[in-house]
Structure 1
Amino acid sequence: MSQQSNQADLARTRDGCRRRQRGSVLLVVMVSLVALVSLGTLTVLTVRSGLSGTSHDRFKAVALFAAESGVAVAMDYLRTQHQEGLNWGSVVNPNNNPAFVPPASDLLGNGVKPGLPGNLFDPALGAWYEVEIRNNRDDGPLDPGPPPRFLQFQAGKDTDGRVIVVVTGHGPNNAAARIDIEVTPRAQVVPCETSNADNSGFRRCDNLAGGVQNGRNF
């Protein structure tokens, strides 16, 4: 009777060991699965982040391309707006308030969003640009005030032949790029001091009825 009891105890002990072993293996498997799932999630997030960064760079490149295109169109527009004696006075506003915005009928594509008539880009590109023209703030003469102010800038006149073109290019997903450039005529007024002077390399001056001709080359 005692031998049978010992055998039963031994069988119960073996069964308990097997159950504990199975429990340990199950715990290890569960921990491994959790680790694999976490690693997979991390990989997906990393790939998504990489794709998002690539798309952002592409959108910014589109916006910069649109801004550069706007600069080129703005240069063509300004060539048609320059007037002798007035310079670009017709395309600047007093105090730049607001900045002068050429209409799309005069400056091609200005402010025209993708897919609308007048936009110069493929609609799939999602590109467009905005062009503003501003007078330089130090267009004088200076009134010491108070407060000090540059009179021609305040009056909306361009007496020094300098304007600032501000172009904002737009791309997909609200991407934007801005380019500011200062524009002057190809040559400013350079008075001739003597007949036949080369006028600083711009235009040779000649005597006119005993007087001196100014060299002006725009």
Structure 2
Amino acid sequence: MNSVSRTPRAEPLDHALKEWAVAVRALEAGRTVLVVRKGGIREKSFAVPESRFLLLPGFEHQRPELVKPDYRDLMEGLEHRSDSGPLRFTSFVEVVGAYEVSEKGDLDALSEHHMWTDEYAESRFKWRPKKPLTALVLRTFLLPEEVILPFRDSYGGCKSFVSLEDVVGSEGARPALSDAEFERLASPLLEVLEGLAPARVGG
């Protein structure tokens, strides 16, 4: 496994991944270390511009029936929230591994590690079938306090990553999982992924 320090580099962050709020909660609670993505409607493909980025909770597309029953408790209080208003950040992540998932069998092998229902995962796989899914193994760090930034028009739309006009400091962040806890979740997942093609991370 790639080595990731429990104490993250105290560098400012200026990119954010739009991710379902329920998935952000799962990452922050240490319930998962995996995100599986395909680009938004306006994107030709999913690309990861940085190895460290903030998590921006989104509410528009998530629905309880799209996540496995074991994760639906994390939906509490999210049902009627919207993506309008200021940006709120409580965590960021470091990419430990990034892989392309191009075969349905490989996606099936990841089922126990992701929070999507198998039906929804397959639907995402079939959308734009010539484009692979990207599996990201992430180490999550919790900010010492919530950071609120103003919404700007450039942040809107169906896009995966947002380039922020304001930066967010990472000083004082702590890992969502201890090294041992992270190893327990990430090691079997990385064993499944290690035979797949790596996905590009960074410029």
Asked which structure has the greater CA Rg, the reply is 1
Higher relative contact order (CA 8 A, sep 6+): 2
TM-score by length of 2: 0.24
TM-score (structure 1 length as normaliser): 0.23
Q: More helix by proportion, 1 or 2?
A: 1
